[in-house]
Amino acid sequence: MLTYRRGRLFMDQVALAEAAGRFGTPLYAYSKRAVLEAFGRLEGAFSRRKTLICYALKANPNRRIAALLAGCGAGAEVVSGGELRRALAAGFSPGKIVFSGVGKTEEELRLAVREGILAVILESEPEMGLLEDVARRLGRRAPVAVRLNPGVDAGTHAYVTTGTASTKFGVDKVSALRMYRKAAASRHLAATGIHCHIGSQVTSVEPYRRAAAVVAALVRDLEGRGITLDFADLGGGMGVAYADGLAMDLPELARALEETLSRWPNMRLVIEPGRLLTAEAGVLLTTVLYRKKTAKRDFLVVDAGMSDLIRPALYGAAHPVWPEREGGEKTNLVDIVGPVCEAADHLAKGARLPDCAAGDILAVLKTGAYGFSMSSQYNSRPRAAEVLVDGGKVLLIRRREVLADLVRGEL
Ligand SMILES: *Cc1c(COP(=O)(O)O)cnc(C)c1O
């Protein structure tokens, strides 16, 4: 997807310098082909069992990206009313949308019930009580899945670990059983599935295997009580290879999950990948503003910062950085930092690059997930533009914000 041709960096058939010249930097560019290929690989790995792939919108909620995946037949995983609206607008059918999150408001629950989504993922007993009230008032029966916290450490960064007992996510097995019994007795709830999601950027199959085993044990308990479910949703979190090179082995993951559910051949498997589908399809283009040498370090100050891409500052994430112009030996060890007034603000530390000068463009790789979607206007910086690369064409899919956007809504 990214190649040098005659010394310049291309995404598919598009010269990235041209895109940067046309739309300015910082600029997010996504390869349509790469998104479709990532989806195809995942679909292929899970082809032996009826599987619904629900794209986790928060990785990259741009309508054009979401619409691409909706067009592939994917469902959506949403975590807010805003994402639910986006998913519907992008063309996902309501019957393929699951809605999770520990703090859904009454208004969000009402929207979910009215739209008739596949399931509300319940994260607590009080939430179930509120959903039942909402469904009763609407004269509806809301399909639900309880999010089980399996007590499994996914071996990933603490900020994206969600399956251990000390996190806010899901409920323990005893509470889950109680909730399923209540749901089964309710005229306004229908227990249709079970859910679990252990974390993000997980690169080992083992924690999934353990979490799936905990889910399977609960499914058996429920069967013993006469409660049968339509689907088991084992969440997202499949990791991609950043600079450390580790990635989830998808065929092995599929085998592990299928094995755990082999007693229930008709139960639909649901998975909720976000990062896996978009991370590798995106680059963040940024322009070098200054080269700054201090007694201790060699800095490249660029026009993108943690307000555009927070992953390095927040998680210590290491994204590869390539110069737009190939050439020269990578002899310089530089810290690539942005303009934001925080010591944490950086895009890369100790990157090896050829000589760079002001005006040169750098590409920060694998930033198609949790890049733009976690960006902010911190330091009153307008958010970047986004483009979709389709073969040799470049389509602007979100215009760069302007200064007026910064004060819009202020009174
Ligand atoms: C964030 C999230 C996902 C997607 O995680 P990725 O690491 O992007 O695959 C899936 N399910 C739930 C419940 C989430 O919160």
State which fold the 2-30+279-407 domain adopts. Lyase, Ornithine Decarboxylase; Chain A, domain 1 (2.40.37)
State the pLDDT at residue 329: 82
User: Who's near 285: CB < 8 A, 6+ residues apart?
Assistant: 16, 19, 20, 25, 26, 27, 28, 29, 324, 361, 362, 363, 364
d(CA 390, CA 375): 24
User: Under DSSP, is residue 387 helix (H, G, I), strand (E, B) or coil?
Assistant: strand
Axis-axis angle for helices 206-224, 250-260 (nearest 10): 20
d(CA 2, CA 374): 24
* 282 beta partners: 30
- Indicate which atom in ligand 1 lies nearest the CA of residue 121: 13
Domain with CATH 2.40.37.10 in the chain: 2-30+279-407
Cα–ligand 1 centroid distance for 84 (angstroms): 15
CA 125 remoteness from chain centre: 27
Ligand 1 center from residue 54 Cα (angstroms): 10
Q: Which amino acid is at 228?
A: T
- Counting Cα atoms < 13 Å in the Cβ hemisphere of 79 gives 17
- The per-residue pLDDT for 165 is 82
Q: How many residues does the chain have?
A: 411
Task: Looking at the CA of residue 370, tell me the nearest atom of ligand 1.
Answer: 8
Distance CA 56, CA 276 (A): 10
Query: Known catalytic residues?
Result: 341
Residue 247 and residue 251: Cα distance in Å, rounded?
Answer: 12
Quote the pLDDT of residue 99: 98
| Ligand 1 pocket: which of 200, 203, 315 to mutate (most atoms within 8 A of CB) | 200
Å from CA of 265 to ligand 1 middle: 25
Which regions of the chain carry the CATH code 3.20.20.10? 101-271
Q: Residue 175: what residue type?
A: S
Which ligand 1 atom sits closest to the C-alpha of 195?
13
* Rounded Cα–Cα distance for residues 244 and 41 (Å): 21
- Write 10-18 long-range contacts (CB < 8 A, 24+): 11/283, 11/389, 12/389, 12/390, 12/391, 12/392, 13/389, 13/391, 13/392, 14/389, 14/392, 14/393, 14/394, 16/283, 16/285, 16/324, 16/361, 16/363, 17/324, 17/325, 17/361, 18/394
Task: Report the distance separating Cα 166 and Cα 188, nearest Å.
Answer: 31
User: What's the confidence (pLDDT) of residue 160?
Assistant: 84
CA dist 155 and 204 (Å) reads 8
Nearest of 261, 179, 253 to residue 214 by alpha carbon: 261
Which atom of ligand 1 is closest in space to residue 274's alpha carbon? 8
CA nearest ligand 1 atom 3, residue? 236
In the structure, which protein residues have their CB atom closer than 6 angstroms to any atom of ligand 1? Answer: 56, 58-59, 77, 79, 100, 197, 200, 235-238, 272-276
Cα(235) to centroid(ligand 1), Å: 7
Print pLDDT tens along the chain (411 aa). 999 999 999 999 999 999 999 999 999 999 999 999 999 999 999 999 999 999 999 999 999 999 999 999 999 999 999 999 999 999 999 999 999 999 999 999 999 999 999 999 999 999 999 999 999 999 999 999 999 999 998 888 888 888 888 889 999 999 999 999 999 999 999 999 999 999 999 999 999 999 999 999 999 999 999 999 999 999 999 999 998 889 999 999 999 999 999 999 999 999 999 999 999 999 999 999 999 999 999 999 999 999 999 999 999 999 999 999 998 787 789 999 999 999 999 999 999 999 999 999 999 999 999 999 999 999 999 999 999 999 999 999 999 999 999 999 999
Phi-psi region of 139 (alpha: psi -120 to 50; beta: other; left: phi over 0): left
Which of 52, 55, 57, 58 should be mutated for ligand 1, with most atoms under 8 A from CB?
A: 58
Q: Which amino acid is at 360?
A: D
* pLDDT for position 251: 97
pLDDT of residue 243: 84
CA distance 80 to 83: 5
- CA 358 / ligand 1 centre spacing (Å): 38
Distances (CA, A) of 46 to 51, 132, 259: 7, 34, 12
The CATH superfamily holding the domain 101-271 is Alanine racemase (3.20.20.10)
Residues 25 and 356: beta-carbon distance below 8 Å: no
